[in-house]
Structure 1
Amino acid sequence: MKLYYSPGACSLAAHIILNEINVDFDLVRVDLKTHKTEKDVDYYCINPKGYVPALEINPGLILTENVAILPFLAQHDPKQDLIPPSGLGRAKVLEWLGYLNSELHDAYAVFFGAPLDAPAKEKAYAEIDRLLKYIDQAIADSDNDYLVDDNFGPADAYLFVLTNWSNLIKHDLSPYTHVNNIRNKVAARQSVQIAMRDEGLIA
């Protein structure tokens, strides 16, 4: 397999899960400003959507969108710890991935477009806080160690990557104790440390 990524972007979640399932894969860095790969290939020829991640499963067979890529990769876990194979447990993983992708991801993405004036920035911070408050309370109300159950999975990887963006936009995560508990557990995983080093995010 081959993962097209940009350092620290949402493709980091797929990078983490690839490390978790311990398969051979290649990384291809994409410049999201020029839409060129590190070998100067037009990325639109690989993924016409123009953004990451894109997962090349076999030559010419490309899968895009984290809500598709993350469960696809997680199901290759030989222990089936990353995602339940079927039933309500799997549905809950997809529910979280959908929410993170459509709500939290979009809320952060506002900061990475055109510069925001002060009122727009305040409104954008408030929207992130509204979503994180819901997530934090949902974690508090459950008896699970992670978002879905007691096992780390793709939704936890995605939450970790998105909330990392708070560092880039100078957003305070400290009020969200339960989110931070999961973040800390995810950050300590070897798969995460390797992915972040490979992407140049940590030394």
Structure 2
Amino acid sequence: MKLYYSPGACSLSPHIAMHEAGLAFEPVLASTKSHKLQDGTDYYGINPLGYVPMLELDDGTRLREGPAILQYIADLVPTKNLAPAAGTLQRYRLQEWLTFIGTEIHKGFSPLFNPAMPEEAKTISRDKLTSRFTWLDGELANKQYLMGDQFSVADGYLFTVTNWAKPTGVDLAGFANIQAWRTRVSERPAVQEAMKAEGLLK
């Protein structure tokens, strides 16, 4: 399998999931700025949408969208318990988290990366993110991970997007439960491995 990624982008979450699952794969750097691979190949020819992540299976089938890729990876190695079994209420809880992270947190950061976005709009985005983090901090009280005691692919996704807080001026300092959770996730060997592979850790 090939995982198309860009350092520190949302593709870090399936990168983490691949290491958590112990799956063999080839990471392929696809710059979100130039939209070219390292050999000069036009990434738009591989993914017409131009963004990462994208997972290419051994038969050439390509899967887009982080939450779908995360669940696919988890289901390849069910014994790793990265996602609850399909059809269970807990699986829908996972999908609930993945949807929340994708629509409320991930997309909430998007205006903050847009240099053309007026500062007033960025302030509105930061305020909305802060309200979401206030709720999330409460949800993480007395929990090791989003789903309870078990790390899931949703944790890797949330960790990835909360990494964007500092560079975009979103202050997480007041959220003790989020901070403690981030420390727990950051110390996982698979997370360290993925971040080192992307040049995010020395």
| Same structural fold, with TM-score higher than 0.5 when normalized by the shorter chain | yes
Q: After the TM superposition, which residues 36-185 of structure 1 pair with which residues of structure 2 at under 5 Å, given as runs?
A: 36-86=36-86, 87-140=88-141, 143-185=142-184
* AA partner of residue 34 (structure 1): S
Separation of aligned partners in 1, 2:45 and 2:117: 32
Between 125-134 and 183-192, report the one with greater CA deviation. 125-134
Between 39-48 and 88-97, report the one with greater CA deviation. 39-48
Task: Give the C-alpha shift of residue 63 in structure 1.
Answer: 0.4
Separation of aligned partners in 1, 2:159 and 2:196: 15
* AA partner of residue 199 (structure 1): E
Q: What RMSD over aligned residues (CA atoms) do the two structures have, in Å?
A: 1.4
Report how many residues are paired: 201
Aligned partner of residue 194 in structure 1, secondary structure: helix
Deviations 1:7-28 (A, max 9, x none): 0000000000000111110010
* AA partner of residue 177 (structure 1): A
Q: Which runs of 5+ in 1 are unaligned?
A: none
Compared with structure 1, are the counterparts of its residues 59 and 39 closer, same or farther at alpha carbon in structure 2 (3 Å cutoff)? farther
Separation of aligned partners in 1, 2:53 and 2:31: 12
Aligned partner of residue 79 in structure 2, secondary structure: coil
Deviations 1:171-200 (A, max 9, x none): 211111111221111100000111111100
Q: Which runs of 5+ in 2 are unaligned?
A: none
Separation of aligned partners in 2, 1:163 and 1:120: 20
* AA partner of residue 67 (structure 2): V
Kept after mapping to 2: 8 A contact 1:156/1:182: no
Separation of aligned partners in 2, 1:155 and 1:78: 15
Deviations 1:88-120 (A, max 9, x none): 111101110011111111111111123444322
Separation of aligned partners in 2, 1:118 and 1:95: 31
Kept after mapping to 2: 8 A contact 1:5/1:52: yes
1:2 maps to 2:23: no
Aligned to 2:197: 198
- TM-score, normalised on structure 1? 0.94
* AA partner of residue 123 (structure 1): I
- TM-score, normalised on structure 2? 0.94
How much identity, in percent, do the aligned residues show?
39
Task: Give the C-alpha shift of residue 59 in structure 1.
Answer: 3.9
* AA partner of residue 83 (structure 1): A
